[in-house]
Amino acid sequence: GFLQPYHPPGLSDPQRSTLRYHTELLSRDIDGNGTVDIPMELDDGGELKSPLDKSLVFLLWKDYATSDGGHSNFGVYDSQNHFYMSLPESMHGSIMIRSNQKGNGWLICNSDGTTIYCEMRVVDPAEETESSSADSTLEYERIGNIGSQQLQARIVTPYYGLSIDSISSGTVLLGLE
């Protein structure tokens, strides 16, 4: 065989890795640390079940401000609702995202889809934040507003590094301000 050129992990094609299909994904300070982060689309972030593969994309935001190559911030971008959700780095490559039952959001699951870690949904704020069940652990928390809709989240199965607080602080609305 012949030698393959070296590519950093997760970047199978350097040209594609700097190419962004979502033109609204501009470099910005995504984590609030004062340095600009550059978004890269990943093809090894995890599995996106249809039809979410049309609207969601895994991203790695990198800042190159420090000598060691800077920080990176792994997560998922919803191009339909224009928000980025930061996820624990340990989820990189080991999750599946599929539609929720009502089709108004999505579930972040383990790679075979048997354990649901959290649900994100976009609903009319008039809809109750509680689910129909009497189980109070199923309450949705408001993360932000997207136009007249409300982005809500709930934790289903605890996962280290993923909490309502981390979702709140790690979700950035990228809509046109």
Q: How far apart are CA 172 and CA 40, in angstroms?
A: 16
Residue 41 has what pLDDT?
A: 92
Q: Residue 106 is which amino acid?
A: W
d(CA 156, CA 14): 37
The pLDDT value recorded for residue 175 is 72
Provide the CA 33 distance to its chain's centre, in angstroms: 19
Q: Cα(62)–Cα(37) distance, rounded to whole angstroms?
A: 5
What are the average pLDDT values for consecutive 10-residue runs of the chain, which has 177 residues? 51 48 84 87 95 95 75 92 95 97 95 96 76 58 93 96 96 78
pLDDT at 13: 47
At residue 67, the pLDDT reads 65
Three-class HEC string of the chain: CCCCCCCCCCCCCHHHHHCCCCCCCCCECCCCCCCCEEEEECCCCCEECCCHHHCEEEEEEECCCCCCCCCEEEEEEECCCCEEEECCHHHCCCEEEEECCCCCEEEEEECCCCCEEEEEEEECCCCCCCCCCCCHHHCCEEEEEECCEEEEEEECCCECCECHHHHHHHEEECCCC
pTM for the full predicted model? 0.81
What is the Cα–Cα distance from 100 to 107, expressed in whole angstroms?
6
**pLDDT of 174:** 87
Q: Is residue 84 within 8 Å of residue 167, measured between CB atoms?
A: no
Is residue 174 within 8 A of residue 84, CB to CB? The reply is: yes
